[in-house]
């Protein structure tokens, strides 16, 4: 194995080792071990991402492991969001109590499950094999479902069960698709590598059915409409640091598996079907999200429906599959991760500042707590695509990529739906910052300093992404991602 492959193996092993250490550590050391493991895991993820992106033209691809530009981008997102979620977890745990276990075991359960989830999640973009990728995606479900229901409230447990059942059902369809693909390849499980799938014979009806089943099954985990029903409940009931990891890292990571499958099987099923499925999920997701973005929703639920919209945007970017669209995907993945995670982190101080915000829309936060209002405003303005948001630049690139790819009506429909979504989120932004202030709790919100520090870092990163966006089309990174399979 090369040094790059060893580093790729170390990236998921570090949080896995941290989870084991948390399980056996003395109670007083749990938080320190959890945060230390998160720091090491985040650093290793960024190191691997730097190597993969710097050597985008020279990827490592085998039957089991792939380290390419695509993996580098998504590993970086998972590493950064995972580390930030770990840093914001102590404040959440100081305020919340889990009814799932006895109080003295809550911290151990949280950090152990969190690190186990991270370990499996960060391995998903590195999977060089459809079968292994499916196993990893399925494995993320158990840990993350437990975290969704961590509070032990009836609504949280219901959301966790809904997430577990619906995503497992969807992945069952994906497994059926893999079973139908298997007879068409020679060899064992290694024959399901992305390279082997790309060499399958064309014209098989069985492969066509299998492709649709795999993409439709993964759609349930990605949160594409109309199989997104678990997403709003899970994101709104999970602890805020976990909601950030689910929305900013899990959904895009599973989308990578769908993208690799699409690219690998395009020669076998035809470009019209392969890209048409992605376009269909993208436009339907945008259309379903818009009415909810126009409603007055509780803060975390609003962010959840925003995830539905942005996963639709990414589906379109991958479907259009040209340098303009792929540059938009790069910016969108990173910008969405930063802004969405920041929005969820702000939920902890928000709920201590305005306890009623857990069940209804937060309004006038900029009037009553300007630093918190600024954090929420930057998150929501970015997600809405308000210039100079990098998501404005990425959406322009993706729509332009659609026109350049000759998909005129799809690109035009996307532009209209994005404009409608912008109006809904824009109204929510105004109400959140300058609307009528609701009754608030006295004192400074818990965790506000951490969120303000993260907001400064996020604002700098978002502006940097906006500045980089015009230079990405035609770059080595984008060209390498177009050759992902």
Please report the DSSP string for 163-185 in residue order: HHHHHHHHHHHHHHHHHHHGGGS
Q: From the centroid of its chain, how far is CA 479? A: 23
pLDDT tens for each residue of 420-431: 999 999 999 999
Over residues 247-271, mean pLDDT: 94
Pairwise CA distance, residues 191 & 193, whole Å: 5
Report pLDDT for 123.
97
Please compute the mean of the pLDDT values over residues 267-294 and round it to a whole number: 94
Which is more confident, 205 or 174? 174
Residue 354 confidence (pLDDT):
87
3-class DSSP state of 26: coil
Going by C-alpha positions, the residue among 294, 332, 334 that lies closest to residue 316 is 332
Which tens digits make up the pLDDT trace of 308-356? 999 999 999 999 999 999 999 999 999 999 999 999 999 999 999 888 8
Task: Tell me how far apart the alpha carbons of residues 316 and 333 are, in angstroms, rounded to a whole number.
Answer: 13
What CA–CA distance (Å, rounded) separates 229 from 227? 6
Q: How does pLDDT run across 137-189, given as a tens digit for each residue?
A: 999 998 899 999 998 889 999 999 999 999 999 999 999 999 999 888 776 66
In terms of residues, how long is the chain? Answer: 485
Per the rule left: phi > 0, alpha: psi between -120 and 50, beta: everything else, 153 is beta
Q: Which residues contact 2 (CB under 8 A, 6 or more apart)?
A: 60
Task: Report pLDDT digits (tens) over 72-127.
Answer: 999 999 999 999 999 999 999 988 777 777 777 889 999 999 999 999 999 999 99
Q: Which of 173, 155, 198 is nearest to 61 (CA)?
A: 198
Q: Which pLDDT score is estimated for 484?
A: 62
Q: How many CA atoms lie within 13 A of 38 on its CB side?
A: 26
Q: At what angle do helices 251-269 and 69-95 cross, to 10 degrees?
A: 150
pLDDT of amino acid 101: 73
**Residue 312 and residue 457 in contact, taking contact as beta carbons nearer than 8 Å:** no
The dihedral through the CA atoms of 12, 56, 325, 319 has a sign that is negative
- Percent of the chain past pLDDT 90, that is, above it, reads 80
From residue 467, alpha-carbon distances to 314, 328, 394, 455, 472 in Å are: 20, 13, 11, 18, 10
Helix/strand/coil for 353: helix
All residues at 6 or more sequence positions from 432 whose CB lies less than 8 Å from its CB, including other chains: 299, 361, 362, 363, 364, 365, 366, 373, 376, 377, 380
Q: 405 pLDDT band (50/70/90 cuts)?
A: very high
Other Cβ atoms less than 10 A from the Cβ of 230: the count is 23
Q: Look at residue 238 and tell me whether its pLDDT is greater than 70.
A: yes
| Burial class of residue 234 (count of CB atoms within 10 Å of its CB; 0-12, 13-18, 19+) | buried
Residues forming beta bridges with residue 61, ordered by sequence position: 66
| Assigned token pair, 212 | 């649709």
Local confidence band at 468 (pLDDT 50, 70, 90 cut-offs): very high
Express as a percent the part of the chain with pLDDT over 70: 97
3-state SS class at 129? strand
Q: What is the pLDDT of residue 203?
A: 66
Average pLDDT on 278-306 reads 96
Average pLDDT for residues 254-262, to the nearest whole number?
96
Cβ atoms of residues 215 and 137 within 8 Å? no
Q: Average pLDDT, stretch 39-47?
A: 97
Q: What is the DSSP string of 28-95?
A: GGHHHHHHHHHHHHHHHHHHHHHHHHHTTTS-EE-SSBEESHHHHHHHHHHHHHHHHHHHHHHHHHHH
CA distance 213 to 175: 8
Q: Span 12-20, mean pLDDT?
A: 97
Instruction: State the pLDDT confidence band at 204, using cuts at 50, 70 and 90.
Output: confident
């Amino acid at each position: 194995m090369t040094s790059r492959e060893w580093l790729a193996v170390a990236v998921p092993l570090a949080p896995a080792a941290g989870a084991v250490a948390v399980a056996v550590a003395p109670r007083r050391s749990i938080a320190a071990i959890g945060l230390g493991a998160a720091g090491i895991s985040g650093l290793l993820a960024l190191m691997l991402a730097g190597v993969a992106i710097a050597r985008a033209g020279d990827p490592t691809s085998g039957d089991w492991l792939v380290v390419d530009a695509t993996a580098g981008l998504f590993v970086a997102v998972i590493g950064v969001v995972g580390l930030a979620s770990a840093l914001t977890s102590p404040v959440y745990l100081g305020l919340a109590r889990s009814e799932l276990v006895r109080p003295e075991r809550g911290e151990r359960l949280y950090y152990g499950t969190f690190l186990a989830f991270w370990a499996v999640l960060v391995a998903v973009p590195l999977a060089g094999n459809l079968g292994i990728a499916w196993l990893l995606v399925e494995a993320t479900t158990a840990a993350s479902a437990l975290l969704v229901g961590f509070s032990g409230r009836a609504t949280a447990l219901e959301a966790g069960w809904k997430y577990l059942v619906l995503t497992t059902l969807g992945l069952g369809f994906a497994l059926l698709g893999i079973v139908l693909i298997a007879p068409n390849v020679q060899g064992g499980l290694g024959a399901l590598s992305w390279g082997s799938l790309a060499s399958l014979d064309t014209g098989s009806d069985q492969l066509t059915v299998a492709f649709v089943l795999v993409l439709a099954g993964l759609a349930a985990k990605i949160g594409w409409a109309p199989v997104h029903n678990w997403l709003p409940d899970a994101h709104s009931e999970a602890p805020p640091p976990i909601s950030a990891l689910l929305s900013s890292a899990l959904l895009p990571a599973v989308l990578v598996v769908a993208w690799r499958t699409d690219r690998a099987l395009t020669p076998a099923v035809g470009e019209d079907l392969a890209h048409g499925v992605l376009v269909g999920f993208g436009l339907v997701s945008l259309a379903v999200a818009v009415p909810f973005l126009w409603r007055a929703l509780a803060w975390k639920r609003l962010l959840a429906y925003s995830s539905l919209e942005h996963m639709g945007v990414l589906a379109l970017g991958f479907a259009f599959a040209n340098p303009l669209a792929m540059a938009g995907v790069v910016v969108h993945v990173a910008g969405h991760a930063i802004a969405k995670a920041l929005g969820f982190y702000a939920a902890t101080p928000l709920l201590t500042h305005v306890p009623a915000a857990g069940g209804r829309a937060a309004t006038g936060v900029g009037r009553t707590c300007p630093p918190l209002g600024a954090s929420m405003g930057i998150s929501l303005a970015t997600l809405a695509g308000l210039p100079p948001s990098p998501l404005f630049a990425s959406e322009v690139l993706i729509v332009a990529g659609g026109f350049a790819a000759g998909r005129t009506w799809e690109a035009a429909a996307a532009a209209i739906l994005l404009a409608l979504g912008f109006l809904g989120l824009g109204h929510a932004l105004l109400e959140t910052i300058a609307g009528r202030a609701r009754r608030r709790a006295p004192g400074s919100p818990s965790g506000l300093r951490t969120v303000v520090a993260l907001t400064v870092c996020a604002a700098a990163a978002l502006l940097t992404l906006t500045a980089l966006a015009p230079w990405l089309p035609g770059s080595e990174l984008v060209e390498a991602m177009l050759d992902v399979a």
